[in-house]
A and B are shown apart, each in its own frame.
Chain A
Amino acid sequence: MKKVFKLEDLDCANCAQKMEDAVKKLEGVEDCTISFMSQKMTLTAAEDRFDEIVKKAVKLCRKIEPDCVIVVE
């Protein structure tokens, strides 16, 4: 499953890169790209565990860049 999330207050391009690298390493994540320019995260992960993976990704990103919020509807 592939979904695009909006990122709020993503101020640092290097952090975006770090977040992308970290999320890619999460178990169950097939692909992840974070675009600093469009402030969006595209996450591809296993369908059945998607919500769980999103939660983990949000937590991980908060650890790397606490100011940035991933908008999960």
Chain B
Amino acid sequence: MNRKQKKTLIRIIVSGVLLIAARLCPFEGWLSLAAYAVPYVVIGWDVLWKAARNIAHGQVFDENFLMSLATVGAFATGEYPEAVAVMLFYQIGELFQSCAVGKSRKSIAALMDIRPDYANIEKDGQLVQVDPEEIAVGDTIVVKPGEKIPLDGIVIEGKSTIDTSALTGESVPRTVYEDSDVISGCINQSGLIKVRVTKPFGESTVAKILDLVENASSKKAKAENFIAKFARIYTPVVVISALLLAIVPPLVTGGDWWDWLHRALIFLVISCPCALVISVPLSFFGGIGGASRSGILVKGGNYLEALAAAEIIVFDKTGTLTKGVFNVTAIHPDEISESRLIELAAYAESYSVHPIAKSIIEAYGMDIDNERISSSQELSGKGVKAVIDGLEVCAGNDKLMDEIGVSWHPCHHIGTTVHVAVDGKYAGHIVISDQVKETSAQAISDLKARGISKTVMLTGDAKETGEGVAKQLGIDRAYTQLLPADKVEKVEGLLSEKTPKGRLVFVGDGINDAPVLSRADIGIAMGAMGSDAAIEAADIVLMDDDPRKIAKAIDISRKTLRIVRQNIVFALGVKLVVLLLGALGMANMWEAVFADVGVSVIAIINAMRAMRISNDKQ
């Protein structure tokens, strides 16, 4: 509690004691009024003062003014204890609200406690602590065990394990050594490392994430805007109804003026829409905060809300469902040994910079002796032709084999096939494929379990490769051999297929798919550790590479919306019932106080649940 809250607490206690004392005193008439006026002023002077001040500013439907009117009215109708109690409970409710909101603000701030306080830099042989913002690109910083890595960079000395959980939600630490990239916000666990800084603090991962999370609350969800609109009309409607209630029935029926005034006052006590105005944004704030703890960054309440209605999920293949790293997955020699085939292929491809060539050289694993290659020629779109140890080796696709007149046979393995011919004779083939992530199949079945009606995969790969992967993962539909521009077209086609309320989600790795990410209803970029493009273009960013996080994000979204809906129904329901009972003369001031303050408190407690995200479903 801060000072202001403590002061309010003392006033509440003093006023409460005085209220009990007043009830115990056997005063009558004016003396009784005076006895109750003391606790009333103790607890309500600031509300009265604010009411007067705001009226002077032309704020008629101000909450302070309405409270003052209701309680002064209660005094006028002779309900002295009720008047004090209404004010007292109002203040208790306000105090509770401010504590609860303060607490959730703090716990979300703690969730995002990734901002580094200092960086160690070596100066004249001594380590000094400086502000991370003062460090320039190219500087060398020292990160000791237990410290936060303050800036993005590359390890130049030392070996350690780092805890990335604050950023990714991943609890298994990552091992880093020389030449490993490290990301700011992670915690260095075991060893001392020296890091060469690659980005200034303003552009570092930590600064970007903090900026994103802090700005998330400015993009409001539809539910928040609905509540805002509702709040705008709710107070005037209730106040005008109160006025009519006080005047019309006694005029028409000739009833008791005091009785109807009493009923009108009950309306005034319930006239603040606070429970909704606080609890709905609090739920979204909590949901976004809890999600970021799991390594899911949501750029705004609107996206969190929309995700609950996900209907079609479109995946980019490479880097999203697959690792995006090409590996040799099969070696099928004809008449020569496996090692001889890969050796010849590696030598033939050794001058090529193509990713496929690189993966073959990597699979060979030994140093290339350039002396053995007497000539090498790259045939664009077909392969390479080289002379190795005097043998003419051709490595490439079926077109190349046809061109040199070598009969080849296709492979049953999924992937890109590189055929090899030696001196015009077929020597076998090597299959290179991108490996599917271990978690992809689980991710798709998780999504189906959550009622996603359609999963689609888009890829630039060949038909067999793409469809093979889709089948393996249980994806409903695959579109293959697409150019980047075709992807936008396909997504537009899919957008017209969904139901009006459903949402289309596109998941990509942020490389080359920025236009698609922005065209989809919700763009999710994954594996964003260090990728600026992904953070810029997407609406939701998954910090690690795990596609299962999509289902988790949907869970968080649905939970948040469930809480929001519960609060709206509960708060409005209770308020309407008490208003109705009040109008019929069946509710008293105490019930009105509950409908106002009690409902707020319960709604806030419920809203705070949105923050808690279980991590056990991994």
Instruction: State the A residues within 8 Å of B (CB).
Output: 4, 11-15, 17, 20-21, 33, 35-40, 42, 63-64, 66-67
Contacts and interface: CB of A to CB of B under 8 A. Distances in A.
A21 B220 CA distance: 14
Contacts of B215: 4, 42
A64 B57 contact: yes
A40 B220 CA distance: 13
Given A40-B214, A64-B59, 12 more contacts: A4-B215, A4-B218, A13-B278, A13-B281, A14-B231, A33-B217, A35-B218, A35-B281, A36-B278, A37-B101, A37-B105, A66-B50
A42 B218 contact: yes
B149 to A, nearest CB: 26
B278 A17 contact: no
A17 B226 CA distance: 12
A40 B219 CA distance: 12
Nearest to B285: A37
A35 B217 contact: yes
A33 B231 contact: no
A37 B217 contact: yes
A33 B214 contact: no
B490 interface: no
B101 A33 contact: no
Contacts of A39: 105
Contacts, number: 63
A14 B277 contact: yes
B282 interface: yes
Interface string B218-243: 11100000001001100000000000
21 contacts: A4-B215, A11-B94, A13-B278, A13-B281, A14-B272, A14-B274, A17-B232, A17-B277, A33-B217, A35-B218, A35-B281, A35-B285, A37-B217, A37-B282, A38-B217, A40-B214, A40-B217, A63-B59, A64-B59, A66-B54, A67-B50
B1 to A, nearest CB: 14
Q: Which of A33, A35, A64 has the most CB of B within 10 A?
A: A35
B281 A66 contact: no
A59 to B, nearest CB: 11
B591 interface: no
- 8 closest A-B pairs by beta carbon, nearest first, are A35-B217, A37-B285, A42-B218, A13-B277, A13-B278, A33-B218, A38-B217, A63-B57
A42 B273 CA distance: 24
Contacts of B305: none
A17 B218 contact: no
B63 interface: yes
A17 B218 CA distance: 12
Contact of B63 (A14, A21, A66, A67): A14
Contacts of B94: 11
B339 interface: no
Contacts of A17: 228, 231-232, 277
A15 to B, nearest CB: 8
B471 interface: no
A11 B349 CA distance: 68
Contacts of B50: 66-67
Nearest to B109: A38
Nearest to A16: B277
Contacts of A36: 101, 277-278, 281
Contacts of A15: 63
Nearest to A62: B57
A67 B63 CA distance: 14
Contacts of B101: 36-37
Interface string B257-284: 0000000000000001110011001100
Nearest to B278: A13
Q: Which of A12, A15, A21, A39 has the most CB of B within 10 A?
A: A12
Contacts of A12: 63, 274
Given A11-B98, A14-B63, A37 B274 contact: no
A39 B282 CA distance: 12
B608 to A, nearest CB: 12
A67 B228 CA distance: 21
Contacts of A66: 50, 53-54, 57
A38 B285 contact: yes
A6 to B, nearest CB: 11
Contacts of A4: 215, 218
